[in-house]
Amino acid sequence: MARGGATRARDRFYALCVAPSLAVLAVITLAPAIYLLVTSFTPLDLTRPETAWNFARPFENYRQMPADSRLMNSLWVQAKLSFWTVTLQLLIGFGFALLLNMRSRFLEALRTVFLIPMVLPPIVVAIIWKVLYTPDISPLHWGTTLLGFTVPALITHPDWALTAIIIADTWQWFPFTMLMTLAALQMMPQEMVDAAKVDGASAWQMTWHVTLPFLKGVLLVAGLFRLIDSIKAFPLIFILTEGGPGSVTEVTNYYSFLQAFNFSFLGYSSAITVVMLAATVLMSWAIIRLVGWGQHGD
């Protein structure tokens, strides 16, 4: 009885300790999300104040979405961008982690060098690539011209503009997956490696049957982080292409930004953002269900 009372008192104490943090979290996370949701049910247009709390047709923004060809195109662009950036970052990050998973001073120094793109401010990364992709000032274009062939201006070429963004994003973020994979590799039990060797596993078999299953959980987490981040892609697109040429690189996030801050359609932009948020949550949940979570230790 006395023990039960002590437990309850302890729980109350813990709850009291956590309450301020939860309250702050609610204010800074939940309140804006609720406001976003509420706004999405209005035609809020900053140039027309009377639209602010107009709930006469609450689902009008959502009704308009399927007929908005630019929005539909932006979803497809988003899917391509996310697929290629996440895939490339996982593959390159995993590959580099395997190569760098050795004890050597040189490799340790190299690891630090590889981390530089990831710690640069996104806007700096965007400017670096803007310089590289602009023909009249680019060392890349200067070099290829010296070699006798001409590379088109990638960011204004409809076949290359999205690829240019994918290359820049992959360059910036593959160190993240490399870092996470490398950390997991260094915690891999030596017995597993030794047992595989005793069984006569080749290097390829070792990677496929031992290392990859062990890293599955880490790769999933890294992939999820990168997927969510790819949906938030903004600085590279803003600086390099502004969504163009035409709408070739206009992802949903950027389109939503244009609607809100260039055109003042905050209601419509909120509705797009709500759908994006719901899609991201659903997609993350589906991936976790599909691939499994925390199975790597088994």
Partner 1 sequence: MSEPRTGRRHLLLGASALGLGALAAPPVLGQARPFAGQTLNGAAFQSTFFEYLRAFFPEFEERTGAKLNFNTQAFPVYNQRTDLELSTRGSALDVINVTFIYSGRWIGAGWLTNLSEFVNDRNRTDPAWDAADFVSGAQSAMQDARGNTYGFAWEAGAMLMAASRADLIDQAGKAMPTTFDELIAACDAVQGKENMSAFVADQLHHWNWIPYLMGHGGKVFRDPPGNLTPELATPQAIRAAGWYAELLSKYGPSGVLSFSDDQAMRTQIAGRANFRTQAITWLVPLAKHADSTVKNTVRYALMPAGPQGNFPGSNSHGLGIPVGSRRKELAWEFIKWALSKEMLNRIVETRGYPSVCRRSVITGEAFKQAMTLNGQDVASLYLQVLELGGRSGYMKYRTVPVFPQVGDTINRGIARIATRQQDAQASMRQAQQDAIQVLQRAGVTLDAN
Residues in touch with partner 1 (CB under 8 A): 43, 45-49, 51, 64, 67-70, 133-136, 141, 150, 152-153, 155-158, 241-248, 258, 261-265, 268
Nearest CB to partner 1, comparing residues 153 and 196: 153
The H or E element containing residue 29 is none
Nearest CB to partner 1, comparing residues 208 and 261: 261
Rounded CA separation 212/205 (Å): 10
CB of 95 to partner 1, least distance (A): 32
CB of 49 to partner 1, least distance (A): 8
DSSP state of 225: H
CB of 72 to partner 1, least distance (A): 12
Q: Could you tell me which residues come within 8 angstroms of residue 209 by beta carbon, excluding any fewer than 6 positions away?
A: 196, 201
CB of 230 to partner 1, least distance (A): 23
SS3 content of the chain, % helix, strand, coil (to 5): 75, 0, 25
Nearest CB to partner 1, comparing residues 45 and 229: 45
CB of 228 to partner 1, least distance (A): 25
Nearest CB to partner 1, comparing residues 64 and 295: 64
Rounded CA separation 113/10 (Å): 48
CB of 176 to partner 1, least distance (A): 28
Nearest CB to partner 1, comparing residues 95 and 244: 244
Beta-bridge partners for 45: 48, 265
Q: How many CB atoms lie within 10 A of CB 37?
A: 14
CA-based diameter of the chain, in Å?
A: 88
Nearest CB to partner 1, comparing residues 58 and 135: 135
From the list 71, 88, 76, the residue with the least C-alpha distance to 166 is: 88
